[in-house]
Amino acid sequence: MSTNDDDGDEEFTTTVYYDDDADLGALAEQTVAVLGYGSQGHAHALNLHESGIDVVVGLRKSSSSREAAEAEGLRVTTPKNAASEADLVSVLVPDTVQPAVYDEIEDELGPGDTLQFAHGFNIHYGQIEPKEEVNVTMVAPKSPGHLVRRNYEHDEGTPGLLAVYQDATGEAHDVGLAYAKAIGCTRAGVVETSFREETETDLFGEQAVLCGGVTSLVKQGYETLVDNGYSPEMAYFECLNELKLIVDLMYEGGLGEMWDSVSDTAEYGGLTRGDMVVDDHARENMEEVLEAVQDGTFAREWINENQANRPSYKQLRQAEKDHEIEAVGENLRSLFAWGEDAEAEGETAETPADD
Ligand code: NAD
Ligand code: MG
pLDDT in tens, the chain (355 residues): 444 444 545 556 789 999 999 999 999 999 999 999 999 999 999 999 999 999 999 999 999 999 999 999 999 999 999 999 999 999 999 999 999 999 999 999 999 999 999 999 999 999 999 999 999 999 999 999 999 999 999 999 999 999 999 999 999 999 999 999 999 999 999 999 999 999 999 999 999 999 999 999 999 999 999 999 999 999 999 999 999 999 999 999 999 999 999 999 999 999 999 999 999 999 999 999 999 999 999 999 999 999 999 999 999 999 999 999 999 999 999 988 765 555 454 444 444 444 4
SS3 166: strand
pLDDT given for residue 206 in this prediction: 96
Query: Ligand 2 centroid to 303 CA: how many Å?
Result: 17
Residue 162 CA to ligand 2 center (angstroms) comes to 15
Task: Give Cβ neighbours of residue 19 (< 8 Å, ≥ 6 apart).
Answer: 181, 186, 187
Residue 341: per-residue pLDDT: 52
Q: How far is CA 320 from the centre of its chain?
A: 21
Q: Left (φ > 0), alpha (ψ -120 to 50) or beta: where does 343 sit?
A: alpha
The atom of ligand 1 lying closest to the CA of 354 is: 9
Distance between Cα 182 and ligand 2 center (Å): 21
pLDDT for residue 350: 41
- Asked if residue 164 lies in contact with residue 136, where contact means CB atoms within 8 angstroms, the answer is yes
Backbone dihedral angles phi then psi of residue 333, each to the nearest 5 degrees? -65, -30
Q: What is the residue type of 343?
A: E
Element (H or E) spanning 260, and its range? helix 243-261
Residue 290 sits at φ, ψ, to 5 deg, of: -65, -40
Q: What is the pLDDT of residue 353?
A: 44
34, 35, 37, 39: which to mutate for ligand 1, most atoms within 8 A of CB? Answer: 39
What's at 136, amino acid-wise? V
The DSSP symbol for 207 reads: I
Nearest ligand by distance to the CA of 138: 1
Whether the Cβ atoms of residue 181 and residue 212 lie closer than 8 Å to each other: no
Q: Quote the Cα angle for 252-255-259, to 5°.
A: 105
**Dmax over Cα atoms in the chain, in whole Å?**
67
Given a contact cutoff of 8 angstroms between Cβ atoms, the answer to whether 110 and 315 are in contact is: no
Nearest CA to ligand 1 atom 34: 119
| Ligand 1, atom 35, residue with closest C-alpha | 118
What's the gap in Å between 294 CA and the centre of ligand 1? Answer: 23
- What is the residue-wise DSSP string for 304-321? HHHHTT-HHHHHHHHHHH
Q: Residue 179: which of 85, 45, 76 has the closest Cα?
A: 45
Q: How remote is the CA of residue 17 from the centroid of ligand 2, in Å?
A: 21
65/325 Cα distance (integer angstroms): 34
Q: Give the per-residue pLDDT at 275.
A: 98
The tens digit of pLDDT for each residue in 124-165 reads 999 999 999 999 999 999 999 999 999 999 999 999 999 999
| Pairing between β-strand 2-4 and β-strand 10-12 as defined by DSSP bridges | antiparallel
Write the residue with the smallest CA distance to atom 8 of ligand 1.
38
- Active-site residue, from 42, 49, 119, 124: 119
Choose the residue to mutate in 34, 57, 92, 202 for probing ligand 1, maximizing ligand atoms within 8 Å of C-beta: 92
Inter-CA distances, 322 with 93, 314, 339, Å = 29, 12, 20
**Ligand number nearest to the C-alpha of 211:** 2
73 class by beta-carbon count within 10 Å (0-12 exposed, 13-18 middle, 19+ buried) = exposed
Which stretch of DSSP H or E encloses residue 117?
Answer: strand 114-117
Looking at the CA of residue 64, tell me the nearest atom of ligand 1.
11
Q: How many residues does the chain have?
A: 355
Ligand 1 pocket (Cβ < 6 Å) reads 36-41, 59-60, 63, 65, 79, 92-95, 97, 101, 118-119, 140-141, 144-145, 354-355
**96 CA to middle of ligand 1, Å?**
9
The residue whose CA is least distant from atom 10 of ligand 1 is 36
CA-atom Rg of the chain in angstroms: 22
Q: Return the residue whose CA atom lies nearest to atom 23 of ligand 1.
A: 94
Active-site residue, 154 included:
no
Q: For residue 351, which atom of ligand 1 is closest to its CA?
A: 3
- Closest Cα to atom 44 of ligand 1: 118
What is residue 336's predicted lDDT score, i.e. its pLDDT?
Answer: 84
User: How many angstroms separate the CA atoms of 187 and 311, rounded?
Assistant: 42
- CA distances (Å), origin 266, targets 144, 262, 269: 32, 6, 5
Instruction: Report the run of H or E that residue 48 belongs to, with start and end.
Output: helix 39-50
